[in-house]
Amino acid sequence: MVATGETNENEATFVFKLDADKLRVAVDELEGDAVVVGQVIKKWPEGESHPMITIPGINLLSRAERRKMAKEQRATSDGTDDATIPGPGITVNVIAIFR
């Protein structure tokens, strides 16, 4: 599962993968404010956007599948749908989440 978070509007969006088998609570209990401790994997600048399924640093698909999807996305969309994360963005490897 891919999740997103923001510290303030107009600042970078944080994107991270959550493994349900490593969580101590149900995923729906994580909605809302939380402190996330993690390691930055990748940053991307303002003006660059990525579909949720092809976020840099999060390998949900094989490299060939990600490239194919990104190419199809560019050909069929302007990149403003709900499944696209606009830059600036930061991919994070989550170490802990505190509520």
User: What's the one-letter identity of residue 9?
Assistant: E
pLDDT at residue 76 in the model: 64
Q: Check: CB of residue 68 under 8 Å from CB of residue 53.
A: no
Coil vs helix vs strand at 29? helix
Global confidence as pTM:
0.74
pLDDT band per the 50, 70, 90 thresholds, residue 13: very high
Write down the domain spans for the chain: 2-98
> Distance between CA 98 and CA 48 in Å, rounded?
30
> Distance between CA 36 and CA 99 in Å, rounded?
9
pLDDT at residue 53 in the model: 78
Q: Check: CB of residue 41 under 8 Å from CB of residue 93.
A: yes
More confident residue, 49 or 69: 49
pLDDT band per the 50, 70, 90 thresholds, residue 67: confident
Q: Check: CB of residue 93 under 8 Å from CB of residue 38.
A: yes
* CA neighbor of 97 nearest in space, from 9, 33, 21: 33
